[in-house]
Amino acid sequence: MADQWDDTRVQRWLGQSEGIDRQLAPVTDALFAAADLQGGERVLDVGCGHGPTTRLAARAVGRGGSVTGLDLADAMLRAAAAVPPGPEAAPIEWINADAVDWDPVGSGVDPHHVVISRYGVMFFSDPVKAFTNIRASAPEGRLAIATWAHRHRSDMFEVPLAAALDVMARRGVAVDPPEPDEGAFSLCTAQRLTDVLTEAGWSEVDTVEHGAAMVIGGGTDIDTAARAGLDLGPTRVVTTGQPEDLRAEVIEAIADAYRSHLTADGHVALGGTFLITTASA
């Protein structure tokens, strides 16, 4: 099932983007190691959001290369375009499109050498169609993408969700938590990635699992981390639209749960399991 990126969700992401970016540093490092970008290459960043990995790619390939950031949320792209990538970086073109409907050949986009994505490819309404279009934009290229492993493998999602469900159960609020392999977790196994990418025409699909401690909110005090935890994936889904007093109680419950996950410098760190998948066109 597709997971909507409506304006409310986009604005919430933008409001927390600096913390999210620090939180996802281990994912970024693994993704760029797998992508192995070379000077002068043409890179496509799919579901680029506000562009942190797009700008990194632009610096990695340098002035002789070029980079395209593709996203369906116009507000994300406006935020992305407002930040220059740096003096030695490749130029960046921002394209506002749904990857499922995008026609790179018909719209005259020059072929790319490398496709990258940090969590921008799990929300497609038709994944095979989207990855087919993406492949058409890099007909002789390679791909490196980061997706979440099955949600049950990541305490960073399970711990705040359990705290929220506990509060709601105590209050007698009935909720239906999202399935652990849907939405942001829709490409959560090597088999699923191989099936989708192969059907879309990609070959040599290889998925490597990584685990890392993710610093929630990017390194903040426990209460700020708990508010960030409220907005994490499934916890956001079950608490959206609930009364403010219930949401406040959930934040307190998340803070309590986080107390046993403090680092020496007082930040909250929980395990996240993610997949880095590479493929050839």
Ligand X SMILES: C[S@@+](CC[C@H](N)C(=O)[O-])C[C@H]1O[C@@H](n2cnc3c(N)ncnc32)[C@H](O)[C@@H]1O
Q: Which residue is nearest to ligand X (CB)?
A: 49
Q: Least Å distance between CB 50 and ligand X? A: 6
Closer CB to ligand X, 71 or 231, in the complex = 71
91: burial class by Cβ within 10 Å (0-12, 13-18, 19+)?
exposed
Q: Least Å distance between CB 66 and ligand X? A: 18
Q: Least Å distance between CB 52 and ligand X? A: 5
Write out the two tokens for 131.
Answer: 């990855």
Instruction: Give the start-end residues of each E strand in the chain.
Output: 42-46, 66-71, 92-96, 114-118, 142-148, 203-215, 269-280
Closer CB to ligand X, 68 or 249, in the complex = 68
Q: Least Å distance between CB 262 and ligand X? A: 26
Q: Least Å distance between CB 2 and ligand X? A: 7
Closer CB to ligand X, 119 or 157, in the complex = 119
Rounded Cα–Cα distance for residues 29 and 151 (Å): 21
Closer CB to ligand X, 72 or 165, in the complex = 72
Rounded Cα–Cα distance for residues 106 and 199 (Å): 22
Q: Least Å distance between CB 174 and ligand X? A: 28
- The partner residues of 215 in beta bridges, in order of sequence, read 269
CA-to-CA separations, 230 to 20, 101, 235, 237, in angstroms, rounded: 13, 32, 6, 9
Helix, strand, or coil here: 218? helix
If we measure between CA atoms, which residue out of 221, 275, 46, 238 comes closest to residue 141?
A: 46
Q: At what angle do helices 244-258 and 222-230 cross, to 10 degrees?
A: 120
If we measure between CA atoms, which residue out of 137, 135, 130, 237 comes closest to residue 179?
A: 237
Q: Least Å distance between CB 202 and ligand X? A: 17
Question: 71 and 49 in contact (C-beta within 8 Å)?
Answer: yes
Closer CB to ligand X, 130 or 167, in the complex = 130
Task: Name the site residues for ligand X (rule: CB under 6 A).
Answer: 5, 47-49, 52-53, 70-73, 76, 98-100, 118-120, 123-124
Closer CB to ligand X, 234 or 253, in the complex = 234
Instruction: Give the start-end residues of each E strand in 92-250.
Output: 92-96, 114-118, 142-148, 203-215
Q: Least Å distance between CB 131 and ligand X? A: 11
If we measure between CA atoms, which residue out of 73, 212, 193, 56 comes closest to residue 122?
A: 193
Closer CB to ligand X, 61 or 121, in the complex = 121
Closer CB to ligand X, 70 or 168, in the complex = 70
